[in-house]
Amino acid sequence: MAHLIEHAKSGRASCRKCREKIAKDELRFGHETVFQDAVTYQWFHLKCAAQKVANDLNEALRDFAEDIPDRAELEETIAANRKKQKPTTFPYAEFAPSGRSSCQVCGETISKGEIRIAVEREIDTGSFARSGAGYLHPQCVAEYEEAPDDLADELAKNSVSLEPDELKSVLDQLG
Ligand SMILES: [Zn+2]
Ligand SMILES: [Zn+2]
């Protein structure tokens, strides 16, 4: 099971974003959710899903073979909203939102807007250790000893704010 796009079987479901009813036969997006051990779907208008759950809709769109009205417009909305998503699982690649981080390997500042790889690391505060983010230039990753073996796979999965071509260029730089 996974997220899905389908023609609404009835006109009874309401959209989780705008709360309006989704008309019978209209295309809708089902966001798969597990509730008390049962799989259920939260329904969205496609346009609303493009704003609220851009990545998940994008995945479902790839598997949906039928024509979708306004598909180009929908993809634009998805692209705009993907950018705003904050990755939540390490390691991930992203465009640095500020110029305040520096690379764990070479020590150079990572400029705002430059691609950086975020990894989880222990931060020793003196009295206790906690984990936080450490940042790397993509081209410095090869010299980072704690990089996981499946780093490329992990980055591909976790880098939710990158476009596929942006992700590919990051992976190419890993060496
Ligand atoms: Zn809606
Ligand atoms: Zn570096």
Q: Full-prediction pTM beyond 0.85?
A: no
Relative to the alpha carbon of 115, which ligand is closest? Answer: 2
Relative to the alpha carbon of 107, which ligand is closest? Answer: 2
What are the sequence ranges of the domains in the chain? 4-82, 92-173
Cα torsion 113, 114, 119, 121 to 10°: value is -80
Residue 124, φ and ψ in degrees, nearest 5: -90, 115
Q: Please identify every residue whose CB atom is under 5 Å from ligand 1, which is an ion.
A: 15, 17-18, 45, 48
Query: How far is the centre of ligand 1, averaged over its atoms, from the C-alpha of 162 (Å)?
Result: 25
Topology of 4-82 in CATH? first zn-finger domain of poly(adp-ribose) polymerase-1 (3.30.1740)
Walk along the chain (175 residues) and give the pLDDT tens digit of each residue: 589 999 999 999 999 999 999 999 999 999 998 888 888 999 999 999 999 988 889 889 988 989 998 899 999 998 888 777 778 889 999 999 899 999 999 999 999 999 999 999 887 777 777 888 999 999 999 999 888 889 999 999 899 888 888 999 999 998 6
Residue 118, φ and ψ in degrees, nearest 5: -100, 130
Which is nearest to 174 in space by CA: 151, 145, 146, 148? 151
As a CATH number, domain 92-173 is: 3.30.1740.10
Question: What token pair was written down for 118?
Answer: 């975020």
Query: How far is the centre of ligand 1, averaged over its atoms, from the C-alpha of 78 (Å)?
Result: 15
**Distances 127 to 120, 123, 124, 133 between C-alpha atoms, Å:** 19, 11, 8, 19
**Domains 4-82 and 92-173 fall in the same CATH topology:** yes
Query: How far is the centre of ligand 2, averaged over its atoms, from the C-alpha of 166 (Å)?
Result: 19
* Rounded CA separation 3/41 (Å): 8
Alpha helices in the chain (DSSP H): 46-52, 54-62, 71-82, 151-158, 164-173
SS3 state at 90: coil
